[in-house]
Amino acid sequence: MSSRQILSRRSFLAAAAAPLMGAQSRRKNVLFLAADDLNTALRCYGHPVVKTPHIDRLAASGVRFERAYCQFPLCGPSRASLLTGMRPDRSRVLGNNLDFRQFHPEAVTLPQLFKNNGWYAAREGKMFHMNVPGEVGSPKYQDEASWNHSVSPQGLEQKSAGEGGRLTAPGRSFGMQWIATADARGQADDNAAEHAIALLEEHRKEPFFLGVGFIRPHLPFVAPSKYYDLYPVNSIPLAQNPAGDLDDIPALARRVRPMLWNQMGMDERQQRLARRGYYASTSFMDGQAGRVLDALEKMGLRENTIIVFWGDHGWNLGEHTRWQKMSLLEDSARVPLIVSAPGAKGNGQAARGLVEFVDVYPTLAELCGLKAPAAAEGRSFAQVLGNPKRPFKKAAYTQLEYESIEGRAVRTERYRYIRWKDRKTGETDEELYDHSADPGEFTNLARGSGHERALRAHRGLVGG
């Protein structure tokens, strides 16, 4: 790079950062909104059914990342990766119920970076891993060192009164259950929104990093009946899978949480009820996020606050006959990510470039004039906020582990490649999908011929 190019790039970064950071006396606030098990079934992402007016409004004032990917399609590893900036192999959080501190006691998390530099760092709700519903209301795994204020609001969950029922056999792991309640009282997300608004009021005159973690649409699908009423059950479309869809999906892939394939044994009506529960829970979460966003606006804080909205991983709703998470296909790996930064020229636009959750940490650090720790493995996409059309990364990585099975996926501009390995037996297999011709990932090109060049290139990317 020439000296002229270096100066030009520095000038661009200075110009881009100036309206976002401001003077020390006007340090930017951060409102960090997380949703649990939320995929891209949002109106602003083009979903034809789901109603999410508040998130849509945020997207209209920020940058919506069309191709953002988590590093591990499971709550604990994904959240640890985003909040520490470390990929799962480095964080060593490769499953739920693991505390990253046992491996990295001196790590500085994203909220902790702000706390250490004079921001008031507060948490209401699920930010790191929390077992839902069993640990709702518990501070377990929420990393108290990261926060000045750390609260896990209580919620009734499966004990909520209302109309509903189970959609899979009692006792089955990861069972599907829905409950339509009279109102939002007693729900953790209602409490989280209320507490977050009180914190905004109390700390409006100082810089803050406020993390608000909603637990919907995670199972059980508990939401007020007014949100269920938005989705008449007979109008709910089902996932459309071609005949023989599973024939070219490797046996190793189908051994990862095998009870989640084949529609979990649900008939078509049960599938519609399950989708309805997910949609209603998503709209309920949207309503609570809207309350916090409205309060931020009314308090006059919006123009000095960077807002980040994210879902921790994708979630299958019957695509490829699979439900829930822990898949390396697009529906599990792709995540919603919206960033609204005051003064960013790209606000109101969609970014098509590949981004990863590990990029969130260095981005917020740069926007607020802080330095991310050396352990953070991502790259700042601050420049993309000024120009969403610019390319960003050539590849995004997602991985998983289940029993003896290891899967590693890479998403490039055109392809998704997945490599599987059974560490016990040494068995391997692979998948390759061409998104330019097959966005639903129905044809595994690794099973045929004529794609050796693409296979070699992507094998190299995942180290195989």
Q: Which tens digits make up the pLDDT trace of 390-424? A: 999 999 999 999 999 999 999 999 999 999 999 99
Return d(Cα 301, Cα 67) in angstroms, integer.
Answer: 29
Return d(Cα 451, Cα 447) in angstroms, integer.
Answer: 9
- 8 A C-beta contact, residue 285 and residue 217: yes
Q: How many domains does the chain have?
A: 2
Please check the confidence at residue 93 and state whether its pLDDT lies above 80. Answer: yes
- 8 A C-beta contact, residue 133 and residue 167: no
Boundary (domain end) residue, out of 396, 418, 433: 396
What are the CA-CA distances from residue 462 to residues 187, 409, 417 (Å)? 42, 7, 9
105: Cβ contacts below 8 Å, ≥ 6 apart: none
Q: 442 with 301, same domain?
A: no
Provide the pLDDT for residue 192.
98
What are the CA-CA distances from residue 294 to residues 24, 203, 223 (Å)? 26, 16, 21
Boundary (domain end) residue, out of 396, 426, 445: 396
Structural tokens at position 6: 């270096």
pLDDT level of residue 2 (50, 70, 90 thresholds):
very low
- 8 A C-beta contact, residue 333 and residue 411: yes
Q: 306 with 416, same domain?
A: no
Q: 164 with 280, same domain?
A: yes
Query: How many other β-carbons are positioned within 10 Å of the β-carbon of residue 423?
Result: 11
Q: 304 with 407, same domain?
A: no
Q: 426 with 281, same domain?
A: no
Average pLDDT over residues 216-223: 98
Average pLDDT over residues 1-25: 40
Whether residue 105 has a cis bond before it, omega within 30° of 0: no
- 8 A C-beta contact, residue 214 and residue 35: yes
Helix (H, G, I), strand (E, B) or coil at 432: strand
Please check the confidence at residue 21 and state whether its pLDDT lies above 60. Answer: no
Please check the confidence at residue 463 and state whether its pLDDT lies above 80. Answer: no
Provide the pLDDT for residue 120.
98
pLDDT level of residue 5 (50, 70, 90 thresholds):
very low
- 8 A C-beta contact, residue 401 and residue 422: no
Average pLDDT over residues 224-250: 97
Return d(Cα 342, Cα 67) in angstroms, integer.
Answer: 22
Q: 193 with 222, same domain?
A: yes
Q: What is the CA radius of gyration of the chain?
A: 21
pLDDT level of residue 439 (50, 70, 90 thresholds):
very high
pLDDT level of residue 215 (50, 70, 90 thresholds):
very high
44: Cβ contacts below 8 Å, ≥ 6 apart: 52, 55, 56, 59, 60, 64, 338
pLDDT level of residue 26 (50, 70, 90 thresholds):
confident
Please check the confidence at residue 7 and state whether its pLDDT lies above 90. Answer: no
Please check the confidence at residue 449 and state whether its pLDDT lies above 60. Answer: yes
- 8 A C-beta contact, residue 419 and residue 459: yes
Structural tokens at position 87: 């990929």
Q: 354 with 456, same domain?
A: no
Residue 125's DSSP bridge partners are 213
Q: Considering only the C-alpha atoms of the chain, give the largest distance between any 2 of them, rounded to a whole number of Å.
A: 68
Boundary (domain end) residue, out of 366, 396, 426: 396
Q: 390 with 423, same domain?
A: no
Strand 63-69 and strand 350-356: the pairing is: parallel
Structural tokens at position 37: 């098990």
185: Cβ contacts below 8 Å, ≥ 6 apart: none
Q: 176 with 233, same domain?
A: yes
Q: 182 with 211, same domain?
A: yes
Q: Which residues are annotated as catalytic?
A: 75, 129
Query: How many other β-carbons are positioned within 10 Å of the β-carbon of residue 144?
Result: 9
Please check the confidence at residue 114 and state whether its pLDDT lies above 90. Answer: yes
Looking at the chain, the whole-number percentage of residues with pLDDT higher than 90 is: 92
DSSP state of 260: G
Q: What is the pTM of this model?
A: 0.94
Q: 123 with 145, same domain?
A: yes
CATH number at residue 33: 3.40.720.10
Provide the pLDDT for residue 172.
59
Provide the pLDDT for residue 175.
87
Q: 320 with 454, same domain?
A: no
Average pLDDT over residues 333-338: 98
Structural tokens at position 246: 């599973």
Average pLDDT over residues 335-361: 97
- 8 A C-beta contact, residue 100 and residue 356: no
CATH number at residue 411: 3.30.1120.10
Q: Which tens digits make up the pLDDT trace of 259-296? A: 999 999 999 999 999 999 999 999 999 999 999 999 99
Q: Is 180 exposed, middle or buried (0-12, 13-18, 19+ CB in 10 A)?
A: buried
Provide the pLDDT for residue 171.
64
Strand order across the 163-166 sheet: 163-166, 177-181, 221-224
- 8 A C-beta contact, residue 302 and residue 343: no
Segments forming the whole domain that contains residue 241: 3-396
pLDDT level of residue 75 (50, 70, 90 thresholds):
very high
Average model confidence (pLDDT) across the chain: 94
Return d(Cα 419, Cα 116) in angstroms, integer.
Answer: 40
Looking at the chain, the whole-number percentage of residues with pLDDT higher than 70 is: 94
Could you tell me which residue, 452 or 5, shows the higher pLDDT?
Answer: 452
